[in-house]
Amino acid sequence: MSEGLRARKKRESRRHIRETAIRLFVERGFEHVTITEVATAAGVSANTIYNYFETKENLVLPPDEASPQRLADMVRDRRPGEAAVPAVLRTLRDEVQRRDRRLGLTDGFGRVFEMMRAAPTLTARLEDLGRQMTDALAAVLAEETGASPTAPLPRVVAWQVGALHSLVYTEIGRRTAIGEEPDTIAAAVLGILDAAEELLGGHILTYAVRKDPQCSE
């Protein structure tokens, strides 16, 4: 079904507000810009902004893009016969190769990343989001392997994956901040994923294989 005119206008308005906010945050610092100032610059009311973004932090980290279920969803969507960690590695590689916007493989992301790191509320939000992603992934791994929710193995695997996911974002932000091109950064991140896969090896890469229905009796 094609997008209706009203839905398209709402999507474009939301994008305009967010782009305006991030520009101001990068220029002046997240904590030094008010919602009223964002509204004035975007040509809308403050109430309109709150209709789209529940909090100021959501202008930078909207829940639909910064989801606590991100890693868990990668595992839930894996292919028959594919283990959990290889599914995450495959998905991350696919995102890097297509320069997925969520990874920040775009010009200017370095300044956005530095702005986020300089804002205590955003860094706290990122840290909390990382913990939520790891917890959600551990819960999925425990459920699918029949392990206890408090069993150590699902949590160890989840924290390994969570740390790698965090490293990917940190590396992209660091390299963008020093002026490297997206293609150069993408190649470096792919190298990190290859190194991680080689180091992980063994049991972790064969943990939580999704059963193939065609192979069941």
Please report whether residue 64 resides in a domain: no
pLDDT at 78 > cutoff 80: yes
Same domain, 188 and 157: yes
Binning pLDDT at 50, 70 and 90, where does residue 25 land?
Answer: very high
Report, as an integer, the average pLDDT of 33-41. Answer: 98
Binning pLDDT at 50, 70 and 90, where does residue 101 land?
Answer: confident
For the chain, what is the domain count?
Answer: 2
Same domain, 74 and 154: yes
Same domain, 53 and 155: no
Question: What is the residue range of 78's domain?
Answer: 70-215
Same domain, 27 and 55: yes
pLDDT at 96 > cutoff 70: yes
Please report whether residue 144 resides in a domain: yes
Report, as an integer, the average pLDDT of 120-140. Answer: 96
Same domain, 54 and 75: no
Question: pTM here?
Answer: 0.86
Same domain, 199 and 102: yes
| Structure confidence by residue, pLDDT tens digits, 187-215 | 999 999 999 999 987 789 999 999 876 65
Same domain, 54 and 74: no
Q: 121 and 30 in contact (C-beta within 8 Å)?
A: yes
Same domain, 47 and 150: no
Please report whether residue 11 resides in a domain: yes
CATH number at residue 200: 1.10.357
Q: Of the ranges 20-34, 132-146, 149-163, 165-179, which one carries the lowest mean pLDDT score?
A: 165-179
Please report whether residue 41 resides in a domain: yes
Please report whether residue 65 resides in a domain: no
Same domain, 31 and 128: no
Tell me the backbone φ, ψ of residue 204, rounded to 5 degrees.
Answer: -65, -30
Average pLDDT, the chain: 92
Report, as an integer, the average pLDDT of 70-93. Answer: 96
pLDDT at 138 > cutoff 60: yes
